A = this chain, B = another copy of it.
């Protein structure tokens, strides 16, 4: 089994793509052919298919299928484990959410989180109820966490919630 599934996606004059490029191209093709807008793979199997180590798959996902590129990745370990790659819709309405998502750094303060949520509320992207839910996590729950990892965990929370907002029709 070879590395012949898909084409290299480099922009430059390179004629031989890296394995990462081949894998990315393959996944892009699968996604295009999927009517649901997402695909599920087994990291291990895919690695075997492309004759590389499993962590190569992780590398491809983190560099080419991240939020910036408009994708969302979920996974599960153990028997029956999988990796789900979701292509986020490009709809006009989702653009502000995506911009916010891309702007989330590794750490988010309470004030920053409140700002983001207010913004979503003002734009009419979320309902009052959804805003209450998001605020409850980013302020109340976060207040109970250890100061050392509070802002990092809040960033995780916000990032994932913004991802969730992008998941469906908007």
A interface residues, Cβ below 8 angstroms from B? 8, 12-21, 36, 38, 40, 42, 74, 78-82, 84, 127-130, 132-137, 139-141, 144-146, 149, 153, 156-157, 159-161, 163-165, 167-168
Q: Let me know if B163 and A74 touch, CB within 8 A.
A: no
Residues on the B chain within 8 Å of A165, using CB? 129, 132-133
Q: Is A18 a contact of B133 with CB atoms below 8 Å?
A: no
Asked whether, in the complex, the Cβ of B145 is within 8 Å of the Cβ of A80, the reply is no
- Within the complex, the shortest CB–CB distance from A127 to chain B, in Å, comes to 8
CB pair A140–B153 under 8 Å, yes or no, is no
* Complex A-B: 26 CB contacts under 8 Å: A15-B40, A15-B82, A16-B40, A18-B78, A18-B79, A19-B79, A19-B80, A74-B140, A129-B164, A129-B165, A129-B168, A130-B133, A133-B133, A133-B161, A133-B164, A137-B160, A137-B161, A140-B160, A141-B156, A141-B160, A141-B161, A144-B156, A145-B149, A145-B153, A149-B149, A153-B153
